[in-house]
Structure 1
Amino acid sequence: MGRFLFMLFLLPFVCFAAELKVRQPHWRPQVVDNFPNGNPQHVVFYERGGDEVDLPVKEISFYINGRLKEEADLAVLSGEIVRHGASVTVHPQGTIFEMMTFEEGVLGGEVKTFHPNGQLKGKVYYQNGLREGPFESFYASGEKEEVGTYDKDRVSGEWTTYHENGLRASSTYYERGIPKGIAEEWYADEGKTKARRLYADGLLHGDGKTPAVMLYSEDQSVVEVQDFRLGKPYGVHLKYYPNGRKSYRVNFARGAKEGKEEFFHEDGNCCGEGIYSNGVAVGDHLLRYPDGSLQKVAKYDQQGKLLEPIVEYYESGDPKASYFQIGDAYHGDYREWYPGSMVKSSCRYEMNGFEGKVEKFYSSGEKQFSGNFQENQREGLFEEWYEDGKFKSSKWYVHGKADGLHREWNSDGVLLFEANYKNGDLDGTLKSWHNNGELRQLSIFAAGRREGKEKKYFDNGECEIQATFKTDLLDGEFMSWYQDGSLHTELTYEDGVPVGEHREFYAPEGEEEAGLFRIFFYDKGQLEGEQRSYHRNGKLAASVSYKTGTLHGKKVQWNDVGELLEEAEFDNGNLKGRYFQITQEGEEVVTHYKNNLRDGIHQVFHPKSEQGKVKKLDALFVGDKLEGELSEYNNKGVKVVSTLYKEGLREGISTLYTDEGMLTMTMEFKGDKREGKAVSYYPTGKIYREVGFAGDVRQGETRTYHEDGTLASLYSYDGDKLNGLCKEWNEEGVLVFEGEYTGDLKHGKFNKYFDNGSPRLLSYYEKDSLKGDKKTFEAKK
């Protein structure tokens, strides 16, 4: 566990989606769940809140090999941890599988899924946890696969699927989540019809003229005709050969087969028939081959009970199968034969469950399988053979559970597996071998738990793993090797927890000698002291200090040429002093911490360039809250943003500049809300626009000016909504527009004028509805 927790701190603070919160160095990780091998399965990150309480901000889950599986942002709502913000799931090979966003635990916005090759697989929108609006899915090639619409989580309107060649595959119309009207399917070749179905209230339902189901072959001949009434089979159902002749006919009444069921050969002659009464087979049911010989025969009394076994025959006349059925369930003796009357299988069923001895044979007559069942549970010796008579497996069972010696062999007669079971659990020595006969594993189990020494080997005979277990927990030395015999890991455990020094080595590459990858130190399962990792070239990659499993002391990372990437100091898990980091984008970040809270100068520098070290951001934190001026600079070092803060909230004038340092906008803030005037400027420095704000929304007049200082427009807002008379003028001062609004709705005159002041459009509205006619005019020449 500690090894992966240590490596977690070495992961770059990046994310797959821009919406995910970037992991911060002062967040405290807590391992919630581990895999049986000790690797973390689920980790939650906490951030110190304003009331000195650690609050969950992110959760990360891993695959058993340590790869990232899922990352999601968190919040606390009414005392419960919920997802809030972005969530990303990853395929085992590392590409994104799914991206979604939550709002206080409820799914909302766009959800995207991806194929392992990175191609978009599907996208759908959520509103308050329900699918809403358009849906699209795509093949791994990028071609469209399906499109449709959701209405309150129910499919709605037309849903269309496509073949990968771009032609339509199906079309179904839905209302309130159930199909309605005609649903069609097409073949991939030239869009030929494959099927047509009629629905009423979500049920198959013919209209009296057109059957409910029509199936077609690729040459467009009818394959099958079925009719339904409110989902129940109705009337005559037919199937056809490609030559257009019937292959099958049956009639339905009250949803059940009624009367004669008929089968036909391709030449039109009847080859089988039987009678049904209210869905129950009665009398003789026969099926014949084209030469008239029996293919299948079943004889029933008038209540539908079989009078003798159903028998199926090969065309030669040899029996193929013999069995009893009750409804669709096998019941009683079951026999199968190969052509020539050689037995294929023999067993007995009790309502589809095995009872008694089951045997299977190869066509040569050699036995393939033998076993006994009691109430469909395995009981006693079960054996399998290869066709040459060699053993494949031998296993003992009691009441359906493995109990006794189990053995498995390959087709060359090499023993692959040997172990003893007791009451379903491994018990005693387990041995397994590679196909070449080399030992693969040697373990000892007691009541399903590993106990004592365990060894695993590569197929070249080299040892892969050597470990000791006590009641299924690692206890003692654990060592592993690469296939060439070079050392991979040296670890020590006590009662399943890591202790002492743990070493891991790189895999050898070519002639290069494998070097130390990382070295950890544990005390009763907790990381203790300095933990180090190395680059393949032997240079130190990271040094992180722990005290009883908590970060305490220096944490430093370097690249493979010895350049500093990160430097921090912790005091019992809390960041303190100067924090330094080079991001993946090459930006340098310097932040100061006090008791895990940002406190002091915070600076960011652009990636190194020919201009040298250029500042990107300069700010000051007091008690984790921004205080004073926050300045942002472009990559030439020119200030482009100035924002004033007080106790973490924007307060006072914020200013924006062009990349050349010219004033472009000023805005007033009070308590982090826009309050007062926001002013935009032309590049010449003259005022372009003035917008009034109150309580973070537009309020009062918004004025726009021509570059000569004359008024260009005048709009009035009340609570961020247009209200009153609004006007626009051209550069000559001629009125070109006037409109009256109430609550953002056109209400009153709404007129436009040509540049000479003559009318262009005259109209009148009441609450956004046109009253009377619009009058339009041509420009005067």
Structure 2
Amino acid sequence: MNRHLTLVAVLCLACMYTNAQKNNPLINSAEAIQSGIKLYDDGKYKEALKEFQQVKAGDTNYVWALYECALTCSADSQYAQGIRYCEQALALTTERERAPELLTQYGSLLDYDNQQERSLKIFDSAIALYPAYTTLYVNKGTTLLRMKKYKEAEKVFQQALLINPYSASSHYKLGLCAINQGQVVPAFLSMVANLVMEPEGRFSLNAIAILDNIAKSKDDVMEEVNKRKEEPNENFRMIEQIVLSKIALDKNYKSIIDLDDPISRQMQVVFEKLSFDETDNNFWMQYYVPFYKKMFDEKKFENLVYYAFSGIDIKTIKDYNKKNKKELSAFVDEVVAYSNLIRSTRELKYSKRNPNGPLYYFSSGVLVGKGIARNNGEILTGPWEFYYPAGNIKGSGGYNDKGEKEGPWKYYHFNGQLKGDESYRNGKQEGAETYYYDHGVVSSRAVYKNGEPHGPHTTYFKDGSTKMTANYSNGKLHGVKKTFNETGVLHAVETYDNGKQSGPFKTYHNNGQLESEGAYVDDKVNGPYKAWYNDGVLSLEAQYVQDKVNGVLKRYFENGKPNTVETYNNGTLEGEYVSYYYDGQLYTKYVNNKKGKVSGDVQYLDKDGKLYYTFTFDEDKLKAARYFDKAGKQISLSETSKGKIDLLVYNADGTKKVATPYNAKGEIDGIQTYFYGSGKNKEVNPYVKGELNGEAASYFSNGQKKAVAQYVANKKDGYYTSWFLHGGKEEEGWYKDNMVQGEWLLYNETGNLIARTNYLNGELNGLKTSYWPNGIKETEDFYEMGTLLETVSFDTTGKVLHRVKLPNGSGKFTSVYLNGKPYGEGTYINGNLDGVFRHYYIDGSVQAIQCFKKGLRDSIFRTYHYGGKISSEGVYKLNEKIGTWKYYRPDGSLSQTEEYTAGKLHGKKIYYYKNGKVDAEVTYERGDRHGMYKKYSEEGVLAYQLHYEFDLPVGYSYLGRNNEPVAEIPFLRGSGKINALFPNGNSSVTVEYVEGQQNGQYKRNHPSGKLCLENTEVYGNSEDLMKEYYPDGTLRSVYTYQHDNLHGPYKEYNAKGILVEEGNQYNGDYHGEQRFYDDNGKLKQVRVYYFGQLLSVK
């Protein structure tokens, strides 16, 4: 195939990011493949393979890359590996248009690997699918040639030449079949045809050598003649005798052309003696003789000879061809005309090649279809079939005498599945129309009248569920249109009148809750409009006139309290504007002028009603910003200079919040920085004229980088890296146009690579490989645009343990333990889990039961401890947790409850001690801690309470000696020290919070004053030992933490100090032995784990 940091620090940072990208480059697959092809053409096969192997599974060119790998393996004699590449590619459902060439290469590799019978079966099945793909015939014939089955090979090459007369290799190999059967004249005719088709082709020198051997009646030719089992065709017998007698080589035999060569002399005598016999059905007679005879009789023999041998560097030939370009061009035209008629009719019999009958038609040499055409192909009439280039059917139907579509028409996907079904009357679509996905599921149904949609129209998702229903009248939407999401939940209801949206409309959230409602008149919103959050709380209400807000628009927080009250006139914000805090306190109030713009001072208040800051505007352009402390003293002033302003925004407590540079147009232009309460950077975002451009970074409160992303025009575009709090890498990969792309690497807190995942345009596509923490492969999942098609699990040695294939994303899914016992089972339908999914323990008992509805958890969810007691229970509604969720310890005691609304924690989350008393409780507001967190002793005494506002602790309190909470001790931006007491005066808790996270030593005591628990927190992450004690001071447990995960040995003791449980954990998972003892210390059970997977129980 031709195919202000120090220079050293800056350099270190640059190297770090450069190396990260080098370790995981975003491959331009087309460039990699083209580079590989060049290396292939240069004979550097192993280097070529390395280029092709850069293309990852899931890339749009992955199948192409596998094909090139197979081709290269063939050239490098790596046949078994090449076969594996072909099988890998053919197992995929993408790039199906490459199937013909893949099957061709597959069959040939099997041949080279001495698996000829398998090879022939592949070729036969492929030809049945792709009947016009000439290379399949050529390679099948070549296999038969290698098997010395010349007669069978002959038939195959003859088929190939009727389909494609321009296949020079088919002419050559047909000639080989003939000569190896002692058929001299047929071999001679085919070899000449090879040269006519490709004078400088791959086999031209071979063809000339064979022609020379025949012309000189060399021994190898005579040997084949002498041992032949079949006499030559009667019409060729005399010619053969003349050729083998070499009479034309005698000097007395006059050459009619200047070129005097044994081959040209023998060509002369052969063509002179040829006589076309209409009744002779011999292939060579009907295929070659009419053309050769015509050329000879019309005295164009000389042109034929000189053109056929134009690839030879002989002066006589070069001079002739240079002087006779016009004549040679005319000769080529005749070759093309003759060959085209064969190709378009596929008729061997010369007299039956009717140019006015049904013909095969081509465009730029590529097969298009078959049928009858008039007016130089401009008017199609009668029945027609259309094809993909390989000959598999693409569509079929009929045309009337006017060249208009008439009657039923069918269309097909490349894989042969029916794609569409239509009907026509006088060129206009009429009646029912149905279209299908390439896996057979209906994609749409419609009805047409007089060429336009008229009647019901329905579209479907790939799983067959309804996507949209509508009705058309004379090509225009009319009536109710409904759209649904993939789970079957109604998404929108719209009303149309004669193609325009008119009447009421409603939209719905994914959980089925009403999202918005209003009405249209002539494609414009008119009248009252309302919107709701996904839990049913009103979020907005307004009045529209001709698509523009008019009057008062009210926005509401998720708690139902007002957010803003805005006044509009004909779509322009005009009049009073009022904004509130979440709790209902006034934030700001001002009036817009009739142009919808603000001029003058606008005051903004803190929650306590005191002046927070003032912005000064001139026709909506910010001129100055002043911030004030609680005493009303100005603490900051930002003013415009030459139209620009560097705006420094403060929090109400006087800490910096964000610094933003604005240009004269009011666009952010430069580096925008967000701050923690400590003044450290939280986010750094580079803007150019209002758009994010360049490297953006975020940071943890300890100063450690959290994430780095590259932006182009507000979209993530480039390499992305995130880190854990302790500095270890968490995730890295590429974004292109704001979508994850290529291979992404995921790590755990201990630094182990745990997954490699491939994406295409934001969808899982190709291979996802998961690893055990020790680096051994755990699973390989293969996805096609988000749909799981195959999953493979491995044992601890890396050998395949279990494989599940899900054709089109459907089938029974099972997983197994490392010993092969069942671990999980469920059902996939069109890429989504559907129905009950169960997990089991090693002994077959149930570990978890969950229900899915089209890929979303729905209905009851339960997990169980080993031994059968319930571990957790709750309810999902379309993947959102709802209601009360409960969690239990292995002994059956309740450990925790939490309340959910529309998938978010909302209400009380309560932890319990084993004695049933409340350990801690916290109030959540739609996912955020908002309200009081209360911590109690095991005896039920309040240890302290922490006040949260939207997940940020703002102060704490505890019970005084009068059993009443002391005045709240405030935090500054989530930072402060807790030194809480019990009512008896003993210390209850000591801990420091930094930016909302515990940091440093944490100590909690029993009411008696004795130590209850001690551990170390690093910005919210537990580290090292955590020790817990009974009220009498006896050690209760010792756990080891690393980066907030249990990691290392642990032990638990009873009140008598006797060990009752011990084990080891690795990054949050049990690993190794877990031992259980009775209250007297006698061993009663041993469980063995492998990175969280229970292997055995003794």
Q: Provide TM-score, normalisation by structure 2.
A: 0.27
| The structure with more helix, counted as a fraction of residues | 2
- Asked which structure has the greater RCO (Cα within 8 Å, sep 6+), the reply is 2
Q: Provide TM-score, normalisation by structure 1.
A: 0.37
| The structure with more strand, counted as a fraction of residues | 1
Q: Which is higher, the Rg of structure 1 or of structure 2?
A: 2
